[in-house]
Chains A and B, each alone.
Chain A
Amino acid sequence: MATEAMQAAGEAHKAGMPQLDFTTYANQIFWLVVALVLIYLIVSKLALPRIGGVLAERKGTIERDIAAAEELKRKAQAAEAAYNQALADARTEAAKIVAAAKAEIQKDLDAATAKADAEIMAKAAESEKRIAEIRDSALASVTEVARDTAAELVTAFGGAADAGAVGDAVAARLKG
């Protein structure tokens, strides 16, 4: 019974805490150091340069793409500005042409108007002259008729018609 208990206790101790079995420490520490050195070499010589490179490359690519996109956007904006400029230029040019054409037409119109005015003036002057002639001739006829009539009247009343005196009297009456 006692030996059994002691045996059990011994087994319990043996199985109890393998962590406290110092005879295995050298072995564990040796292999731990080997493992750590290997992992360190893997990490520092292979993994970090590779992953760091990949990440840097990706970052660079993204930045380059963004820069290219910015550049294209800038170009598009420049093209739009150029288009707007061309449009504005064309508008100004068209306005100029329209103004020139208008001025030309105005000039022609002015010339035609002046010519027409001159013609009208000439015609009016001519007409006036003829009217004056007609009036003058009419006046002369009226004087002659009045003189003749007066002479006839004087003769009819039994007077002696003095041509000079009758003429003076008629002229005086016509003036008055």
Chain B
Amino acid sequence: MTVATDQAAEASSKLSLHPMEQFTVRPLFGGTEIHWYTITNVTLWMAIAVVCTFLLLVYATRARALVPGRGQSIGEVVYGFVRNMVVDVAGEDALAFFPYILTLFMFVVFANSLSLIPMSFATTSHFAVTGVLAIAVFLTVTIVGFVRNGTSFLGLFWVTSAPFPLRPVLAIIELISYFVRPVSHSVRLAGNMMAGHAVMEVFAGFAIVLWISPLSIAAITAMYGLEIMVAVVQAYVFTILTCVYLKDALHPHH
């Protein structure tokens, strides 16, 4: 009886789950203070994302080949994918914002994907990061909307297809949903990344327990596959939502 209790206690002490610890921002070169300029793991993994973007879009296309090689093909596919998304969702006149949207896509897709490397750091799991991205999109869209359309941009909130008595109510709902956009936009991405990584960490924590470890490892493998998909899909979702918001700014009258 006591032996069993001791064993249970021992197991529980071994079984220390810190699923959120992986998200801690740490200075890279010692020290504990984190100033705005401190070089941290955030800096490192963002820099790797920048380098990857450079490698894919610039280094891989250096040959400018008429018949593209492997790297250039991937670069062209990414270019075409985002460009078509912008044109299909927001229209031809949104192409002025193509560099901006491609920047967002490249950053998010590389930050998401790189975070799946073991021992890496998931920059896009932080609300500070996704929040800034979403607020940047929100401000851009709002400013562009007013600059392009003037006050008629407010027509976005006045649903003329609805019966007249409903319109003020709908206007309030539309207004709220408009201001909730940056929240949902950022929380969706950070939440997805955080949840996936935390779940994998939990499964990894369980792997110490002998009898459960095969199941745990199988679950991590399955989760990893799912997370690869989530990383790309969330980057896609973030980008296409940006295009949708941009469409509202350019063509507010449905």
Q: Looking at the complex, which one of A15, A23, A28, A61 makes contact with B42 (CB distance below 8 Å)? A: A28
Q: Is B75 an interface residue (CB 8 A)?
A: yes
Q: Is B46 an interface residue (CB 8 A)?
A: yes
User: Nearest-CB distance from B9 to chain A (Å)?
Assistant: 14
Nearest CB to that of B33 among chain A residues? A23
A57 touches B57 (CB 8 A): no
Q: Is A88 an interface residue (CB 8 A)?
A: no
B106 touches A39 (CB 8 A): yes
Q: Which residues from B are CB-within-8-Å of A42?
A: 50, 53-54, 57-58
Q: Is B103 an interface residue (CB 8 A)?
A: yes
User: Nearest-CB distance from A64 to chain B (Å)?
Assistant: 12
Which residues 51-105 in B have Cβ within 8 Å of A in the complex? 53-54, 57-58, 61, 64-66, 68, 72, 75-76, 79-80, 98-100, 102-103
Q: Which residues from A are CB-within-8-Å of B18?
A: 15
User: Nearest-CB distance from B121 to chain A (Å)?
Assistant: 10
Q: Is A38 an interface residue (CB 8 A)?
A: yes
Q: Which residues from A are CB-within-8-Å of B43?
A: 31
8 residue pairs from A and B, CB less than 8 Å apart: A23-B34, A27-B36, A31-B42, A36-B103, A47-B53, A50-B64, A55-B80, A57-B64
A43 touches B99 (CB 8 A): yes
Given contacts A35-B46, A47-B53, A54-B68, 19 further A-B contacts (CB under 8 A): A15-B21, A24-B128, A26-B35, A27-B36, A27-B37, A29-B36, A29-B128, A35-B50, A43-B53, A43-B106, A44-B99, A46-B57, A50-B64, A51-B61, A51-B75, A52-B79, A54-B76, A55-B80, A57-B66
Known: A15-B18, A19-B190, A47-B61. A32 touches B129 (CB 8 A): yes
